[in-house]
Amino acid sequence: MKYPQLKLDNQLCHRLYMASNSVVRAYRDALCTLELTYPQYVVMMALWEEDKITIAHLLQKTAIDGGAMTQILKKMTDKQLVMVIKDEDDKRKKRVKLQPQGLEMQQQATAIPQQIRCQFPSINEQEAMQLITLLDKLNTDLA
């Protein structure tokens, strides 16, 4: 090859792309029982951590694009998992609040992280923590 820097096997970005796609596929079966997509699951996890947060905070917490978030929240509202309400102090802001069905779903979801973790048997806990640290650094650098 004339330009080895262009070889696909030498690209970190391609490995990240493949890993991202593989992880989302791994979640697909686990989330099927909850009838959630991976982005919807990410929103639910953020809300289980902190309910009734502003949409701006939810965008920051999940790193989901604003346009995509609008569609996600619409679908989740239709499923009666969340409701979007006006902020009591500032009517220009909107908050996302879990509905009872969304709160109940948390119990059903408790086994999902371990189900997914079991799909990576060649990565031990220390390596998983190192990977998290490295990905956090990468995301900080690219922000």
- Using one digit for the tens of pLDDT, what is the confidence trace for 113-138? 999 998 889 999 999 999 999 999 99
Q: Classify residue 69: in a domain, yes or no.
A: yes
Average pLDDT over residues 56-71: 95
Residue 54: is its pLDDT beyond 90? yes
- Measured distance CA(85)–CA(12) in Å, rounded: 42
- Which residues span the domain enclosing 60? 39-106
Question: Do the domain assignments include residue 56?
Answer: yes
CB 82 within 8 Å of CB 76: yes
- H/E stretch holding 59 reads helix 55-62
Structural domains of the chain, count: 1
Q: 64 Cβ partners below 8 Å, 6+ apart?
A: 39, 42, 43, 58, 72
Nearest-5° angle of CA 101, CA 26, CA 55? 45
pTM for this entry:
0.88
Mean pLDDT score of the chain: 93
Residue 91 is part of a domain; what is its CATH number? 1.10.10.10
Write down the pLDDT at residue 45. Answer: 97
Please report whether residue 25 resides in a domain: no
